[in-house]
Amino acid sequence: MQLGITLGDPAGVGPEITCRALASLAPQERSRIRVFGPKAFLERADALCRTGLGFVDGAPATGEVRVSDVRSPGLESVDPGRASAAGGAAAYGCIAAAVKASLAGEIDCIVTAPINKAALNAAGHAFSGHTELLAHLTGAPSSFMLLASEKLSTIHVSTHVSLASAIGSANSAASSSVWGWTCATRSVPVTAHTASAVAATSERSPGGSHGASGAAESNVLVAASRRPTWPDPAS
């Protein structure tokens, strides 16, 4: 598997985190990774973290890391720890380059280092986070954030919004859409028992208290789990 890492906003912790993560891998594992971002910032982080990594532009030897040196306007003005439009432009460029490589079959998955959403917006890219940006770059009709672990996986009904907006977004239509995509894509193992468990949990939820404290929460989740909105096969 070929893995791509986007360096994120070069003014942030992305370069240092990436170097630390790469240094923790076995040499043969590092050779299967391609980093997308400004090489100068990666080399500076390598020196700062004393990780002793070797970066190359082409095919890496064992232990080396291939870097796609993504350049963007104003990159030389980016200062560590300071959000700027130039940093946002660099972050966007890293992600766009990685998505292009992924769609071309050059890498199999993308791991993203942190971005600064204010800097991203200042650079003219009006996205609230990676999820929405990745959907835009891939032409996906919709997108959802999946948090996965061995024991529990969760798909958000809303992401990157205020608390008030999140509550308003938790309606039957949105919840049904998330549940439908979950079932259709098998993002989370779904069975009849799972659907029943979701409905039963919703009906007994603390927020609902069997209706004593209001029934909105249970009504929304029960309706969504029993009547998922299936995605259009054409999408």
Parent domain of 39: 3-140
Calpha distance 89→208 (Å, rounded): 45
Calpha distance 37→15 (Å, rounded): 9
Helices then strands (H, E): number in the chain?
10, 7
Q: Helix or strand or coil: residue 82?
A: coil
Calpha distance 220→169 (Å, rounded): 11
Residue that finishes a domain, picked among 140, 160, 177: 140
Check: CB of residue 162 under 8 Å from CB of residue 185: no
pLDDT of residue 143: 79
The CATH number of the domain where 101 resides is what? 3.40.718.10
pLDDT of residue 168: 74
Look at residue 199 and tell me if it is in a domain: yes
Which range, of 78-92, 187-201, 215-229, averages the lowest pLDDT? 187-201
| Residues 81, 183 within the same domain | no
pLDDT of residue 173: 67
Q: What is the pTM of this model?
A: 0.77
Query: Which tens digit of pLDDT belongs to each residue from 59-98?
Result: 888 899 999 999 999 999 999 999 999 999 999 999 999 9
| Residues 116, 167 within the same domain | no
| Residues 16, 90 within the same domain | yes
pLDDT of residue 113: 96
| Residues 159, 132 within the same domain | no
Rounded to an integer, the average pLDDT of 101-106 is 96
Residue that finishes a domain, picked among 140, 174, 208: 140
pLDDT at 225 over 80: no
Rounded to an integer, the average pLDDT of 15-27 is 96
pLDDT at 153 over 90: no
pLDDT at 9 over 70: yes
pLDDT at 104 over 90: yes
Query: Which tens digit of pLDDT belongs to each residue from 114-140?
Result: 999 999 999 999 998 898 899 999 998
Calpha distance 5→23 (Å, rounded): 14
Look at residue 198 and tell me if it is in a domain: yes
Look at residue 231 and tell me if it is in a domain: no
More confident residue, 105 or 182: 105
Look at residue 58 and tell me if it is in a domain: yes
| Residues 129, 85 within the same domain | yes
| Residues 114, 182 within the same domain | no
pLDDT of residue 233: 45
pLDDT at 216 over 50: yes
Q: Confidence class of residue 204 from pLDDT cuts 50, 70 and 90?
A: very low
| Residues 27, 69 within the same domain | yes
| Residues 122, 187 within the same domain | no
Total domain count, the chain: 2
Look at residue 120 and tell me if it is in a domain: yes
